Amino acid sequence: MDFDGGGSTSGVDTAGVVAQSVPVLSRRQKALYQFTQQNLPACKPILTPAWVITTFMLLGVIFIPLGLIALRASQSVVEIVDRYDTECVPETHKHNKVSYIQDDSIVKNCTRILKVRKDMKAPIYIYYQLDNYYQNHRRYVKSRSDRQLLDGLNYKDTSSCKPEENSNGQPIVPCGLVAWSLFNDTYTFYHQSKELEINRKNIAWKSDREHKFGKDVYPFNFQNGTLIGGGTLNPTVPLSDQEDLIVWMRTAALPSFRKLYGRIEQDLDADDLIIVRLVNNYNTYSFGGKKKLVLSTSSWLGGKNDFLGFAYIAVGSCCIFICIVFLLLHVKTPRPYGDTTYLSWNRKSNAS
């Protein structure tokens, strides 16, 4: 009797303890508990040979046409690329291009003639391309102050702009090496003896114009030092409206890059001649850089870039190749589904 009574009493106590130790979980807590305890239901597909072969076949069938479409769109873009940095140096200065570009007393006007190969529909984008120019260099990228670009002289801490944080004892706006090295070659285009109008508005990102460059911030003490790095800025125009600076300040990730200069809002026909009168100011000779002028149309996919199309075709072709290999292997040595002879422990026992 004592045993039964004691057993029943302990059972009640145990039940009470159990009831108290298991709290009622909410739906969210229950889901979290299942996730942490790895008790969530999961899909565990069985990759049979038929599924694998079909998947690779579908990927190839989808990727190859996409690559051909992207490649066709890229090929429809018409580009004119003209390297002018070597051709726009007089013969008398070919042996010393650095002294030529640094001599302000020499007129650096140059004329180039471009021939349109195919019809170019407006808008025609004008880019300047720089090669072997490392805008991604760590010290170069860090030499700027984004807060100053937004707040101007109200922001005092410009230590990040070294060595171009001040000049003649006064701060520089905009400060830093990035702004100091602003591209300053200029281009003027003529077609059939008439000057082509270049639209230089809306060439920068809208987010940069409205949120990264102050509407009440004006250039101050800019390019007034002993060494001039690049272009100058209009001190009466706020930074948010000087879009050539905004385009330049968005630094490139690769040593060869293009930046938008403007747009030609006029169609050009095949075999037309475009006369370009440019001023070769920017110094790329000190570091072996190259300068190119690029005129380009665009497609629904953007500018001319064959990489995306070739990448899709390459991936699709690899998938088709793997599909064929797996198919041949499956036909040559088929494996019945659920065949236990291929299990590792069965193969060891058979070998012994």
Kindly indicate the confidence band of residue 274, based on its pLDDT and cuts at 50, 70 and 90.
very high
Sorting pLDDT into bands at 50, 70 and 90, what band is 35? Answer: confident
Which whole-number Å values give the CA distances from 51 to 29, 186, 192, 315, 327, in the listed order? 37, 60, 63, 19, 11
pLDDT score of 40 = 67
Confidence of residue 46 (pLDDT cuts 50, 70, 90): confident
Q: Enter the DSSP assignment of 118.
A: S
Quote the pTM value.
0.80
pLDDT at site 5: 45
Percent of the chain with pLDDT over 90: 68
**Strands 109-115, 124-131: parallel, antiparallel or unpaired by DSSP?**
unpaired
Per-residue pLDDT tens over the stretch 339-350: 666 666 666 666
Mean of per-residue pLDDT scores for the chain: 88
pLDDT of 17 above 50: no
Q: What is the pLDDT of residue 226?
A: 77
Vertex 117, ends 111 and 121: CA angle to 5°?
Answer: 95
pLDDT-derived band at 255, boundaries 50, 70, 90? very high
Instruction: Report the alpha-carbon distance of residue 60 to residue 55 in Å, rounded.
Output: 9
pLDDT at 34: 76
| 63-104 pLDDT tens trace | 999 999 999 999 999 999 999 999 999 998 889 999 999 888
Does 114 score more than 90 pLDDT? Answer: yes
pLDDT of residue 334: 82
Q: Label residue 110 by pLDDT band (50, 70, 90).
A: very high
Query: How far is the CA of 308 from the CAs of 72, 249, 263, in angstroms?
Result: 11, 27, 25
